[in-house]
Structure 1
Amino acid sequence: MSVSAESESPCRRYWRLVNAGEPFRLLFPLGALLGILGVAVWPLHVWGFAPNYPGQIHARIMIECFLTSFVIGFLGTALPRVLDVRRLGLAISGTLAVVLALSASMHLAGHGLWGDIAFAAALGAFVAVLLSRARQRKDIPPPSFVLVGMGLLAGIAGAVIQILDRIWPMLLAPWVGSLGRALLHQAYPLLPVMGVGAFLLPRFFGLRGRQDFPELLRPSRAWLRQALLAFSAGVLVLVSLLLEARGYVRPGYALRLLAVAGFFASEIPQGEILRGRGTLALGVKIALVSIPAGYALLAFSPSHYFAWLHVVFVTGFSLLIFVVACRVVFGHGGQSEKFRARLWPILAVIALLLLAAATRVSADWMDASRLKHYAYAAIAWSAGAVVWFMALRRTLASSDED
């Protein structure tokens, strides 16, 4: 017996919606919280509460916990609908959320090996669940989701390499360890962004994308052509990572720039992007400029590696994650009118992430106060995440059926 929307409490409605196959409602807020924890290590270090240098802890939490919460939240909601298969219930979503929180806790406590193991277990289990349900599919995913699969496998492979390197430090050649870090820290975030972006981003500008196909049980020739294009772009990204791991840093980033810029240019008409309206479209524009711009700067000036990498990660990946999450929440919350609206809280999120990126990048030219600027950038990023959550908290518990 269903409970009417009028008599159902917001808390009960929230958990019912999560259990009904909308894990984003649980995992998106968790991701924002874990992201705040991931950047908080910098001010804690600067103010003396965390004596050890937190660079690796920060990177691992942001990739393995912040990013993964949004990846699983989005794919766990979207793919069962696309494939028309049984959806993820609260038991699976809740278990994955607990394991990701455990991974972050292990990293914060200095137990990086166990943090990596928890992450690999969560991502591997998620992929296994999707594969087990795909056998009953009534449709196939968009062809660009070939890149999503490549990214998930890259994340698992990178984590496994890092785990092996921690347990048996002399087992792997140094370049293999470097490749593992690149697979985890770069291929894992980049490839799903490319795959999901080719499918979803044209919708921010009111366009019908090249990834839209009628319901298919078997791939058509046109679908295979688009999938081959996506796969080729993914292979170029992986080759660029191999070049970087072998010491060819400039050629590696130049090839990555070519792969990313070329793929997005082929999937999203540039003229239409300029005409896109609304706050969400603005965020997408900034992210689509930041990602290739960051790779171009890395190819041109690799000596400032970490500075330019944060152009990619802060105003590229982080901003795109928050903006896409907004669209998912608004769409499932019955607020599609906000897709092209001016949203002042989200404008504040964009401004805070731009401030965080500028502060973090400029820190590399401020030797005397570098760590303080890391802390200021972390505070700005955290403020953006808090504003994002506060703007969406009510919609996370509402449905398009309300």
Structure 2
Amino acid sequence: MSFPACKHRKHKARGPRKNGLAWLAAEPYRLFFASGAAWGVAGVALWPLFYAQQLSYFPNLVHARLMIEAFGGAFVVGFLGTAGPRMATAPKLTPTELLWLFGLHQAGAILHLRQQTAWGDACFVTLIGSLLLCLVVRVAKFRKEAPPPQMLLALTGLICGLGRTILHLSGASLRDPQIYRLSNLLLYQGLLLPPVLGIGSFVFPRMLGGDFGEPKTAAQSRAKFLRALAAALLLVGSFLLESYGQIAASYAVRAIVAAGYLLMEVDWRTRRGGSLTTGLFWSLAIGWFGIVLAPFHYVQHIAIEHLLYIGGFGMLMLIVGSRVLFGHSGDLEGFFAESWWVRFLVFLGVLAATTRATPAWVPSTTVSHHIYAAWTWGILSLLWLIWHRKRFVKRDEED
């Protein structure tokens, strides 16, 4: 069974050949998930190289861009490029669109690695804008069904990514410290936090053994849309609050919205368990604590927020990515398996997040824990790629 499932399976034509480019275009996650995980390894590898004096520059900016745009952005594009047309029962991406999007993704990552930040950001904003255009055209002209209302939050994430890059490239963020802080929040949290909530509220019920979180009636659809709209406005409002110095209020709003929205939208009673399901709960808890704890020691908020970046965003992308890979390779039951291997991968994710956050309270460990966390996340990502290597190229014959 593919993921998300088409609502009109009985009307589907035979899919494109497995070895054809149209197949990859219809399921772009196969390229973007693998590439994103690989770029994530490159992003964390900068720290051990720097401390070993094999890197001539301080890699904080390059690291941040690679992890958010090349790693996180790849998973957002891969998921929405695959699921977006299916949710609206609209035509899938074309090979030309796939090559354009993937080329922009690779170009942006390479430019960031070469410290050409402005050009890398330009590629990223073009990538996000192109994906948004592809999806909007399909929803407006070809849809047979309206996409789930929770996808408004995924759209919010794309708009945040666009807005941040436009602010930066225009020079506005360089002239005003509040706008500079806002632009960073829009990229580093706004790009991923709203989609995590929106996509999560749709797929988490399925990952717990139930149905997708789509509305069953028009009344439910309206209610879900209003909740998604409120969450989107509050999240963006929290970024404005923080950029103008309202630290405690901004984090409180984000923590309440994140927990409240998922509690309202998702039935958390586990119908089917498994090691990846356990990892989902660990990831959500660690990410939420990254939001809650940061304002209490704001001078070290970047270190603390790595609980959110690694434990929340990073682990969630690998877990949801695993669900997509299992579903599209025809091995849905594999997602619910109990596995010591998966427990070990989850342990590595938790270890990387907590290790990277520790210097916030023990500054003397900064260098060593940068290195340990980087090695841990790099090993986790490589093992994840090796674990799924066959699923990246295996197709569900019923899809």
TM-score, length basis structure 1: 0.90
Q: Across the two proteins, how many residue pairs are aligned to each other? A: 381
| Alpha-carbon distance, 1:209 to partner | 5.3
1:204 aligns with 2:202: no
| Conserved? CA contact 1:199–1:212, under 8 Å | no
C-alpha separation between the residues in 1 aligned to 2:273 and 2:143?
Answer: 36
Amino acid paired to 2:262: F
Q: How far apart, in 1, do the equivalents of 2:289 and 2:273 lie? A: 22
Query: Is this contact kept in 1: 2:150–2:199, CA < 8 A?
Result: yes
- 1:387 matched to which residue of 2? 383
Corresponding residue of 1:228? 226
1:52 aligns with 2:75: no
1:246 corresponds to which residue?
Answer: 244
Gapped regions of structure 2 (runs ≥ 5): 1-16
Query: SS where residue 397 of structure 1 aligns?
Result: coil
1:184 partner letter: L
1:56-92 per-residue CA deviation (whole Å, 9 max, x = no partner) reads 1111111111111111111111111111111113332
Looking at structure 1, the residues matched to 122 and 331 of structure 2 have their Cα atoms a distance apart, in angstroms, of 39
Structure 1 residue 93, shift from structure 2 partner: 1.8
State the match for 2:13 in structure 1. none
Q: Distance in 1 between matches of 2:115 and 2:87?
A: 40
CA contact (8 A) 2:149 2:221 kept: yes
C-alpha deviation, 1:33, in angstroms? 0.7
2:193 matched residue in structure 1? 190
Post-superposition shift, 1:50? Answer: 1.5
Structure 2 length-normalised TM: 0.91
CA spacing shift, 1:366–1:290, aligned 2, 3 Å = closer
- The CA deviation at 1:364 is 3.2
Confirm or deny: 8 A CA contact 2:238 2:254 kept in the other structure.
yes
Deviations 1:115-155 (A, max 9, x none): 11010011111111111121210001111111111111111
Per-residue CA shift, 1:92-123, capped at 9, x if unaligned? 22321221111111111111111110100111
Q: C-alpha distance in 1, partners of 2:48/2:95? A: 35
User: Are the equivalent residues in 2 in contact too, given 1:18–1:89 (CA < 8 A)?
Assistant: no
Partner residue in 2 for 1:29: 34
1:255 counterpart (232, 253, 256): 253
Q: 2: distance between equivalents of 1:306 and 1:15?
A: 44
Alpha-carbon RMSD across the aligned residues, in angstroms, is: 1.9
For 1:346 and 1:101, locate their aligned partners in 2 and report how far apart those are by CA, in whole Å: 29
2:142 aligned with 1:144: no
**CA offset digits 1:167-203 (Å, max 9, x no partner):** x833xx2211211111111111100000000000011
Q: Percent identity?
A: 33
| Divergent runs of 4+, >6 A | none
| Residue identity in the other structure for 2:36 | G
Which aligned pairs between 1:176-187 and structure 2 lie closer than 5 A? 176-187=179-190
Q: Distance in 1 between matches of 2:300 and 2:25?
A: 46
Paired residue for 1:40? 45
Structure 2 equivalent of residue 377 of structure 1: 373
Which of residues 75, 83, 91 in structure 2 aligns to 1:78?
83
Matched letter for residue 113 of structure 2: L
Q: Is the 8 A contact 1:43 1:372 kept in 2?
A: no
Look up the SS of the partner of 2:330 in the other structure. coil
* In structure 2, C-alpha distance between the alignment counterparts of 1:262 and 1:16, rounded to whole Å: 42
Residue type at the aligned position of 1:307: A
**Residue 11 of structure 2 aligns with which residue?**
none
